[in-house]
Structure 1
């Protein structure tokens, strides 16, 4: 598949997966296949410690599925694309690496679903819109929107957003907890990269364990979650990075982690 639809680059242990399908990054099967391959590449790369998903367009993060293609395709073809999209977002969540959405333009439908599948979301201030408008097409979100949104904003707010399909702005998204950090547009790239680099240079085994503990643990009872945390924590004591962390603390210096 042509990689220019979703370009892949690495800067100081931070991978960038950049959407590049003008004008709105509306995705089809070809785009989503490229995206999944990029996610898998970043997950497997030893020189990558964190991943940023962004856009080459200042106006659009991603407008979701290409409606014109969706309308012209048969149901089986559309389902294949939806299955690929679901596999991609699930791969992001299953990865031991932190995925960060860098948003400075419209994130609608499947575009917002991709952002919701990221672990953290940074966004620029602006008048662009976010939303899940599928109800206005007689549909519901098909790439995890109903399930991930409710885990971020709660049942009542999720039903308000999903049942109306109305768009909202970045300020509202921040107030509701959808956006973690909101910055001026000219500061977004720097803020996102610096955050990602901090994670990328951290103890990779502990980061992966933390992500699994939070994501998997949030689906469990407290008792089961505490058991999972204990299971994940115990092996870390014998890791190089934990020993280095303790030593660096005693020696009053910054630790040098190796991800092992």
Structure 2
């Protein structure tokens, strides 16, 4: 894949997307959002990819959206290229997505992290939704996803004040799964990514669907969905391999079939 604002590598079933706009501290413009959307869609169709990692170039994850672009946007532009739509596609990605937050994750950068399934930050990471300082609100899913992850009261405080928090407070709030020294960030990320990559791709996909729906579905609907997805998995070769491997006291080799 050849992109202007992204650098993509694939190794051992793990695809790494690196946001690359060093001159803008990886702030996202229309082209970079479009490229990110295209990259995630393509990686979801690649059988050689089981986990997607998103990080930023050098010491910044994503510093936000390109302010000049926001300044020039008109009301109906929100119905053209919408950051919200790109991030919803990441949230619904068939492959698990891990955010490796190596520095500032602000505005759209924080919303990008929120759209990922697992968020791991370096001890130098800073996160926040400072859009209120620009006279706008977080419209890439921030008002919805942040609330679901850290609770309404704290989400209101962060969004209404525009405050930026450090990695340790973010972990305390549940916004980050892990915080590690900067030099060990990718080591921790790949430790988790490799563990997920050894599991059944079909089971991972079905589990993600059920988990994503759990925050909005009522208990009866959620349990019905869970049961139907399990019925699908009962008919897969991966289920047969997983149970057979357990009985034979060996590690399973899942093929995603």
Q: Give the TM-score taking structure 1 as reference length.
A: 0.94
Residue 172 of structure 1 pairs with residue 169 of structure 2 = yes
Structure 1 contact 26–62 (Cα < 8 Å) conserved: yes
| Structure 1 equivalent of residue 229 of structure 2 | 232
Is the contact made by 1:217 and 1:224 (CA closer than 8 Å) also made in structure 2? no
Unaligned runs of 5+ in 1: none
- The number of residues matched between the two structures is 256
Indicate if the aligned counterparts of 2:129 and 2:138 stay in contact, CA closer than 8 A: yes
Equivalent pair of 2:148/2:215 in contact (CA under 8 Å): no
Task: Tell me if the contact between 2:129 and 2:158 (Cα under 8 Å) persists in the aligned partners.
Answer: yes
The aligned residue for residue 101 of structure 2 is 103
The residue number in structure 2 matching 1:54 is 55
Tell whether the 8 Å contact from 1:2 to 1:34 is kept in structure 2 after alignment.
no
Aligned to 2:85: 87
- Paired position in structure 1 for 2:13: 13
3-state SS of 1:134 partner: helix
Task: Choose which of 194, 199, 210 in structure 2 pairs with 1:197.
Answer: 194
Aligned to 2:143: 146
Q: C-alpha distance in 1, partners of 2:230/2:29?
A: 41
> Are the counterparts in 2 of residues 14 and 196 from structure 1 also a CA contact under 8 Å?
yes
In structure 2, what is the Cα distance between the partners aligned to 1:259 and 1:132?
Answer: 38
Question: How far did 1:75 drift?
Answer: 4.3
The CA deviation at 1:79 is 5.2
Pairwise CA RMSD:
1.5
Query: 2:240 matched to 1:243?
Result: yes
Q: TM-score under structure 2 normalisation? A: 0.95
| 4+ long deviations beyond 2 Å | 72-81
> Matched residues in 1 for 2:35 and 2:217: separation?
33
Deviation for aligned residue 1:73: 4.4
Task: Measure, in 2, the Cα distance between the counterparts of 1:8 and 1:124.
Answer: 21
3-state SS, counterpart of residue 258 of structure 1: coil
